[in-house]
Chains A and B, each alone.
Chain A
C-alpha cells in the first residue's frame, strides 16, 4: 500500500482519484435523538384525542367563544362544546410550525422549530431560597429583580419568565409589577403570566412601548402570552378573554394545561397524555378560528399525583415519559412544544435536585422539546433558588454539548496525524491537537481537579463552589432600558393603582 495515499486500495485505479471513499458526506455530523413513540402509537394517541374531543368535549362558559366555535361546526349543548374531527384537523392545519420571538433589541431570535431546544426559567414561585443567608422566605419584588438579572446572565436561559409571585405587592397588580421588573432587568424575551384582561392589556402596552410600535411588537415579539386551561377539560372565561386578545393581535402564546395523573386526569399515562393534548389543542383551535395562522406553542404539564402526599410531582420519571410522548405529538402536529425541565421536588439544590434536573433536561433535549421552562424550580413549584438556577444552567450546557454530537469527517477521523505519531508516540504537540482540543467542553462548576489541586484551592465541596459561583454571577449588570422608556413605564405603573 502506498503510504502517501491510505485509500489507494479503495480508489478507482484508472483515475487514481479518491472520491469520498467512505461516504464522508453522510457521516458529517451525528447528533443524538430519541424517538419515544412508534408511528402506530402516535396515530393511536391522535385518534384517541380526536375521539375525546368529539365524544366528551370541553366546558366553556364564554359566550363569544361558544358562538365562534358553533359557527365553525362545533356542537354546543349548554356549556359543553364538542369538536368534530374534521374541524380539529382543519383548524390545526393553519397553526404555524415555527414560532419566532426576540430579545428587547431584536438581535437574538428564539426560533421554535424542528428538534431545537430553548431553555428558560419559571413562573410563580412563592418562596425564595436566599443564597446569601441560606434561608427560605417569601419571594419579593426585589427577589424578582435579582433572579431576573441572574437569568439575564445565564447563557443557557435563552428566554425568561416572571419567576416568582411577589408577596410584597398588591395582588391585583402584582402580575404587572413583576412583568415590568423583568422587562427592566433583562433583555431576554419574556413569557408572561397574568390574571385579568387589564393586566394582559397593560403588559401588552409595555411590549408596544419597548418595541416602538404595535406592528413591530407583532412582527418581532419580545413578549409571549401564557394560558393554562384547567384540567379536566375546562376553559374559564378570563383565560378565553386573554387567549382571544393575543390570538386577534397575532401575539405568540403558550396553551398549557396541567393534568395530574390520578386526580385531574386518568391514572394511566396514555390517558393523561390524550387529555392534556386535547386541552392544549382546544385553545389552539379556538385561536386559529378567530385568526388563522396566529402562533401557538402546544403542550401540557402532565405529571403524576404522589398518592402518599398528594404532591403534583416535578421530579417523577412519568412526567418525562409524558413530556417526551407529547413532544413527539407536537412534531406530528407541526406545532412547537412547550416542555419542562430543571425542576425538582427537593427542598435544596442538593443531590436529588441535581439528579432530577439532569434527567429532565436530558430527556427534553433528546425528545426535541422546543421551549422548555421551569429550570431552577424546587420543592414542586413553590421555591426558587438562584443556586439551583446556576446548577441547572450548567446541566443544560452539558446536555447541549452532548446533543451537539460529534463530527465525522476526514479532518476529524485524523488518520494522517495518527499515522504521523505512530505506535508509542503522543499527540500533545501536534498542530492537529492544537486545532481541536478546545472543542471539548469545560465546566465552570463540575470539578475535575487533582486531589492536590482541589486541596490547594481550599478543599471546597460542590455546594460551596456553587454558592460562591452564584453570588459572583449575581453581580451581573443587565443592559438598562432606554431612559425614556423607563420613565414612560413608571407613568404606566401609576395608572395601575
Chain B
C-alpha cells in the first residue's frame, strides 16, 4: 500500500504548492500515476467534500483545493495510462434561457470538476435547443440545469421536454438546482436528480455518472 497521505493533507489544507510538490514526490518515488490520481487526489477530494459537509472547510478553501487538484492532474497527465482522458464522467451544465445568474452554476461546475468530471459549461441564458445540440456533440453522461429565478423555473421544464422530444433523453441523466428549485419540483418536471447545494450536486453527479 502506497502512502499518499501527504497529497491528501495538502489538499485539505488548500495549499496548491504543496499539492504539486507532494504529487511530484510520489511520481519520483515511482508510484503509478493512476494510483496517485485515484488514491491520492480523488480520495483527498472526497475528504474535502466531507469536511465541507461538517463545516470544517469553507467554500473558498474547497475551491482552492479543487483548483490545486486540477493543476496537479495536468502535471500527471503524461503519466496516466490513457493520457487523462478517462474522466469519472462528463457533464454539460448551463443556466436556463432567460436567466443570467451564474454563481451557483459556477460553484457546481468547480465542485463537479474536482470530483473528477469533465464539465462543458454552456454559460447563462442557454436555450433548450443549445442543450440538445451540446448533448449530440459532446455525448455527456449528465445534463445540469440551473435557475435562480422563479420566473425561469418553467424553462427547466421546457428544456427537459426539448431533450425528450429530440430523442436524446435516454442517453443522459438530468439534474436541476438553484435557490428556488426543490426536490418536488425536480420530480414534477421529470428530472433525474436534485441537490440543494454545490457539494450535494457533486455527490449526486458521482452517484449518477
- Where the two chains meet, the residues of A that have a C-beta atom closer than 8 Å to any C-beta of B are 424, 426, 428-429, 433-434, 437-438, 450-453
- 6 interchain pairs, CB-CB under 8 A: A428-B103, A428-B107, A429-B60, A429-B63, A429-B67, A450-B197
Contacting pair B196 A429 (CB below 8 A): no
Contact of A453 among B64, B106, B110, B196 (CB under 8 A): B196
**Does B34 make an interface contact (CB < 8 A)?**
no
**Does B79 make an interface contact (CB < 8 A)?**
no
Shortest beta-carbon distance, B128 to chain A, in Å? 23
Closest 5 CB pairs of A and B: A452-B196, A450-B196, A433-B60, A434-B60, A437-B60
Shortest beta-carbon distance, A459 to chain B, in Å? 14
Bound-complex Cα distance A452 to B201 (A): 12
- Where the two chains meet, the residues of B that have a C-beta atom closer than 8 Å to any C-beta of A are 14, 58-61, 63-64, 67, 102-103, 106-107, 110, 183, 195-197, 200
- Chain B residue at minimum C-beta to C-beta distance from A452: B196
- Chain B residue at minimum C-beta to C-beta distance from A424: B102
Contacting pair A428 B196 (CB below 8 A): no
Bound-complex Cα distance A438 to B102 (A): 24
Which residues from chain B contact A450 at a C-beta distance below 8 Å? Answer: 196-197
Which residues from chain B contact A428 at a C-beta distance below 8 Å? Answer: 59-60, 63, 103, 106-107, 110
Which residues from chain B contact A426 at a C-beta distance below 8 Å? Answer: 102-103, 106
Which residues from chain B contact A429 at a C-beta distance below 8 Å? Answer: 60, 63-64, 67, 110
Contacting pair A434 B64 (CB below 8 A): yes
Shortest beta-carbon distance, A184 to chain B, in Å? 35
- Chain B residue at minimum C-beta to C-beta distance from A431: B64
Bound-complex Cα distance A437 to B197 (A): 19
Known: A429-B110, A433-B60, A450-B196. 6 other contacts (CB 8 A): A426-B103, A428-B106, A434-B14, A437-B60, A452-B197, A453-B196
Listed residue (B64, B107, B196) with the most chain A CB atoms within 10 angstroms of its CB: B196
Which residues from chain A contact B106 at a C-beta distance below 8 Å? Answer: 426, 428
Bound-complex Cα distance A281 to B49 (A): 60
Shortest beta-carbon distance, B207 to chain A, in Å? 15
Which residues from chain B contact A437 at a C-beta distance below 8 Å? Answer: 58, 60
- Chain A residue at minimum C-beta to C-beta distance from B200: A452
Bound-complex Cα distance A434 to B61 (A): 7
Shortest beta-carbon distance, B197 to chain A, in Å? 6
Which residues from chain A contact B59 at a C-beta distance below 8 Å? Answer: 428
Which residues from chain A contact B183 at a C-beta distance below 8 Å? Answer: 452
Shortest beta-carbon distance, A170 to chain B, in Å? 49
Which residues from chain B contact A438 at a C-beta distance below 8 Å? Answer: 58
Bound-complex Cα distance A452 to B194 (A): 11
Bound-complex Cα distance A428 to B106 (A): 10
Contacting pair B60 A453 (CB below 8 A): no
Bound-complex Cα distance A426 to B109 (A): 13
Which residues from chain A contact B103 at a C-beta distance below 8 Å? Answer: 426, 428
- Chain A residue at minimum C-beta to C-beta distance from B106: A426
Bound-complex Cα distance A428 to B111 (A): 12
- Chain B residue at minimum C-beta to C-beta distance from A436: B60
Which residues from chain A contact B110 at a C-beta distance below 8 Å? Answer: 428-429
Shortest beta-carbon distance, A457 to chain B, in Å? 10
Contacting pair B67 A453 (CB below 8 A): no
Bound-complex Cα distance A406 to B161 (A): 49
Shortest beta-carbon distance, B52 to chain A, in Å? 11
Shortest beta-carbon distance, B79 to chain A, in Å? 27
Bound-complex Cα distance A484 to B87 (A): 67
Listed residue (A424, A426, A428, A433) with the most chain B CB atoms within 10 angstroms of its CB: A428
Which residues from chain B contact A451 at a C-beta distance below 8 Å? Answer: 196
- Chain A residue at minimum C-beta to C-beta distance from B183: A452
- Chain A residue at minimum C-beta to C-beta distance from B196: A452
Bound-complex Cα distance A346 to B193 (A): 46
Shortest beta-carbon distance, A440 to chain B, in Å? 9
Which residues from chain A contact B58 at a C-beta distance below 8 Å? Answer: 437-438
- Chain A residue at minimum C-beta to C-beta distance from B182: A451
Which residues from chain B contact A434 at a C-beta distance below 8 Å? Answer: 14, 60-61, 64
Bound-complex Cα distance A450 to B107 (A): 16
Bound-complex Cα distance A163 to B112 (A): 53
Shortest beta-carbon distance, B184 to chain A, in Å? 11
Shortest beta-carbon distance, B100 to chain A, in Å? 9
- Chain B residue at minimum C-beta to C-beta distance from A455: B196
Which residues from chain A contact B197 at a C-beta distance below 8 Å? Answer: 450, 452-453
Bound-complex Cα distance A453 to B61 (A): 20
Bound-complex Cα distance A144 to B120 (A): 62
Bound-complex Cα distance A88 to B194 (A): 73
Bound-complex Cα distance A146 to B106 (A): 49
Shortest beta-carbon distance, B131 to chain A, in Å? 21
Which residues from chain A contact B63 at a C-beta distance below 8 Å? Answer: 428-429
Bound-complex Cα distance A428 to B200 (A): 18
Shortest beta-carbon distance, B14 to chain A, in Å? 8
Shortest beta-carbon distance, B205 to chain A, in Å? 16
Bound-complex Cα distance A375 to B110 (A): 45
Bound-complex Cα distance A424 to B95 (A): 14
Which residues from chain B contact A433 at a C-beta distance below 8 Å? Answer: 60
Bound-complex Cα distance A424 to B100 (A): 10
- Chain B residue at minimum C-beta to C-beta distance from A435: B60
Shortest beta-carbon distance, B93 to chain A, in Å? 15
Bound-complex Cα distance A438 to B200 (A): 23
Shortest beta-carbon distance, A77 to chain B, in Å? 68
